[in-house]
Amino acid sequence: MPRTPQTFDAVDVIRTKRDRGRLSDAAIDWVVDAYTRGVVAEEQMAALTMAILLNGMDRAEIARWTAAMVASGQRMDFSGLRRDGRALPTVDKHSTGGVGDKITLPLGPLVAAFGVAVPQLSGRGLGHTGGTLDKLEAIPGWRAGLDHDALLRQLRDVGAVVAAAGPGLAPADAKLYALRDVTGTVEAIPLIASSIMSKKIAEGTSALVLDVKVGSGAFMKTADDARELARTMVDLGADAGVHTVALLTDMSTPLGLTAGNALEVAEAVEVLAGGGPADVVELTLALAREMLAAAGVADADPAAALADGRAMDVWRRMITGQGGDPDAPLPVAAETETVTAPAGGTLTRLDALAVGVAAWRLGAGRARKEDTVQAGAGLTLHARPGDTVTAGQPLLTLHTDTPDAFGRAREALAGAVDITPAGPTARAEPASAGHRPVVLERVARS
């Protein structure tokens, strides 16, 4: 998409969307390009994004906005990727972010074990949601920064790579995301969808599986909002020629039994070794099946590749290929503190958002992009909804290098747990407690 001449005024573009009008293709091309070049001021784009949050965009507007962000930078191309004379199919996965969401770590090696190339350009955590790069950087020596040639070499030789996106990939999105984060417009579905899909389309993968979280620990709190976001992104992918499907998955309770960087790496390795928490295994396998189907691999059994060690072999090669030592001990926090059950009964709720905020306050996350994280900080869960607990039993272990953080983490967890007393006078336990499926719905192009 060529750079558009300056034929628009930023204030006129803002007024159009403020007054619930439709932005023309030319106006969208101009404003995205002009903002990326610094012609449109930060306060003007802030006003426009707020107008988009309040008044929305139609499908054609979102598609054009996404295309304009893709056109702001470079596009990667994996079409020439080959191994042993055979073209390698490529497929990626993106999660909208959650608490304890370490799925990328076992998933990439698992899918790559079937001869599929999995280029995963990932990000860092901000606020209560953890970042994949932060998790992997807990492994001694592992590095996120790879140049294009190194990335292609690892995809060809290993099949899986997790790396930081370079600054040339959809630079409009990087600038716009930082603005949205400080102006209260992160939740705008057209802007979430275009942000995610502009990077994935520019990345150049031929197929994409989306993990759209819904629940207290997700950006999308309701199934209706999550479904709208999923459908918008699936359509954007299809319109750009990327085979795209989405799964709506539960984020009312943290995934697995850990939240925090090194803690989640250890849990991911358990899954690769054929064990791990049931919900993490369930979601890993569900996403793997979708990715393999999208890549055209028929009759694949990802569960067998976890059981027989093939996925673990790819994991070890992936980590080694990026400078890491898969056998090195993971960092451990200097201090721990235990949160116990206040009463006996059935644990019916453990709020994902509260756990994510607690992990963030313990040092596992960051409030600003430039903040550092503690590799060993986070929480370990000792019970999940549906479990029977006794008074005084450990529910959570808090981990940090800064013991002053314990107090604020406990504040975040206040009210995060519901325990239904046992006995004939107890209120009935919700039928779904402890039995809610991880995958709630599948969204594909109709």
Active-site residue set: 94, 173, 180, 195, 199
Q: 166 and 124 in contact (C-beta within 8 Å)?
A: no
Q: 92 and 203 in contact (C-beta within 8 Å)?
A: yes
> Looking at this protein, which amino acid is placed at residue 169?
L
Q: Which two tokens stand for residue 369?
A: 């992009």
SS3 content of the chain, % helix, strand, coil (to 5): 40, 15, 40
β-bridge partners, 388: 346
CA–CA distances in Å: residue 320 to residues 93, 136, 159, 243, 419? 22, 12, 13, 31, 44
Q: Which two tokens stand for residue 364?
A: 């596992």
E strands within 137-290?
160-164, 207-214, 243-250, 258-259
β-bridge partners, 338: 397
Q: Nearest 10 degrees: CA dihedral of 371, 203, 267, 377? A: 0
Q: 346 and 387 in contact (C-beta within 8 Å)?
A: yes
β-bridge partners, 210: 94, 246
Please state, in angstroms and rounded to a whole number, the distance separating the CA atoms of residues 138 and 330. Answer: 7
CA–CA distances in Å: residue 306 to residues 148, 247, 253, 285, 288? 30, 21, 25, 9, 11
E strands within 3-106?
82-83, 86-87, 92-95
Structural Rg of the chain based on CA atoms: 22
Residue with tokens 């984020």: 251
Please state, in angstroms and rounded to a whole number, the distance separating the CA atoms of residues 307 and 318. Answer: 19
Which residues are within 8 A (CB) of 411 and not within 5 positions of it... i.e. 6 or more apart?
Answer: none
What does the DSSP assignment read for 371-429? ----TT-EEEES--TT-EE-TT-EEEEEEES-GGGHHHHHHHHTT-EEEEPPSTTSPPP
Phi, psi of 419 (to 5 degrees): -125, 125
Please state, in angstroms and rounded to a whole number, the distance separating the CA atoms of residues 114 and 313. Answer: 12
3-state secondary structure of 45: helix
Q: 319 and 139 in contact (C-beta within 8 Å)?
A: yes
